[in-house]
Amino acid sequence: MNSAIRRLAVAAIILMLALMANSTYLQAFRAGELNGRNDNRRVRDSQFSIDRGPILIGNTPIAESEASKDRFQFQRTYASGPAYAPVTGYYSYLYGRGGIELTQNAELNGSDPSMAFRRVVDVLTNRRQQGASVTLTLNAAAQQAAYSGLAGKTGAVVALEPKTGKVLALVSRPSYNPNELASHDLDKVAAAWKRLNADDSKPMSNRAIKELYPPGSTFKLVTAAAALSSGKYTPETKVNSPAQLPLPQTTVPLVNENGQNCGGSNNATLTIALRYSCNTAFGSVGMDLGADAMAEQAAKFGFGERQLPELGAVASQFPGDLNAPQTAQSAIGQFDVRATPLQMAMVAAGIANQGDVMKPYLVQNVKTADLKTVEETKPESLHQAVTPEVAAQLTQMMVDVVENGTGKPGRISGVQVAGKTGTAQTSKDRPPFAWFTAFAPANDPKVAVAVMIEDANIPRNDIAGGTLAAPIAKKVMEAVLGQ
């Protein structure tokens, strides 16, 4: 009997020690993770009683908390909801958080370790916990120009400051109203969530950074960069540019969109080939350089890397293990090349910034309620994609595209614009994607932009990057430049 009791006692002690160890582990190492879970309603009840900090553009709040007379005490509101929804995300009792509301949650609710002293002071002075403000890099005029430009269309716009990587505009349409999800009427919130997720237009999808698309001819900038960087090409090098380019290992040739040779020549210069966006010329260049050189150049512009952790952007893709025909197709942004609008804005911004691709960022700073700065983002170089000399050559070639070629709708009076159009084919049952990426002024760039139109509700034959996307990019650039 004593032996059995001893065994039971030992087992009980072991279980108690295991329980204590697990409790210590949870408190010491996983408390933050568990508190931050979207499905932790106990924590959420507590957090809804906190004066959550605002999300700002300059001194203007685009998301803030207002006192309410219900059990939650504070109501989260979004002044220009749909225009900023892809950035702010939502703050919902039932469905947690998205966007900046999610990734900057600890700062906004005041629980971040950097604000520990502030919390101690609040306790000692019997003051209610107050969250920090998060100031974004967005330019309000550019954001509105992008949002208005996409009215009635499905697509996205991203604008960057080339010298720093600041995100000046980030818009995706169709969009949604985060006020519906932040409501304290939980039945209405549930109905709105169900409706939004059942909508075939995917209003909650962030097309600017989380969807991948064939970039089409805008990718020819990457091909041109690889060509100029190889030392085998200059802007005046003549390249093979017939109406149809026979490809090895297949009977299907690569053709130019208009069915003609490049600008009246079967041997156009690289500048002319970019001006008229000749598929055969860049397919020929891509095969000459080889898949490895193309992949290396794409990686230098940021392909294969996730960017903008503030919103969780996906990585753009350049395919591997390419044969010659696939390399030719990839060189013109087709086959399995996939990019986000953010990525193509980075390509333009890198060229604009003398070949130096800056790391894009959206959060400018975080300040406590008493205006003490606890976080300030500094510009950071990501990759030197090309040399300054090659960047200067590409810039002049892109200026030629806007002044004399397919990018004429992107011209701004009194400002030299460098740009590249793109019309990416997908399948016969859906319209092409229309693209335009550009920067301005060409000699002292202040803004780089990429516009992608997924669907404009117009006939297929009327879809082109120059006619659809370039005018939107123009308005965004004008907004940044104060035109």
Catalytic residues: 217
3-state helix, strand, coil in the chain (%, to 5): 40, 20, 40
Angle (CA) 44-45-48 rounded to 5° is: 80
Residue 365 CB: number of other CB atoms within 10 A? Answer: 16
CA neighbours within 13 Å on the CB side: how many for 281? 32
Name the token pair of 387. 């040399």
Element containing residue 284 per DSSP (H, E): helix 279-289
Q: Where would I find the beta strands (DSSP E) of 241-380?
A: 244-245, 254-255, 356-358, 363-367, 373-376
Amino acid at 210: K
Q: Phi, psi (5° rounding) for residue 438? A: -160, 170
CA neighbours within 13 Å on the CB side: how many for 471? 7
**Cα–Cα distances in Å, from 482 out to 144, 186, 282, 414, 415?**
13, 43, 36, 12, 12
Element containing residue 421 per DSSP (H, E): strand 418-424
Angle (CA) 126-131-133 rounded to 5° is: 140
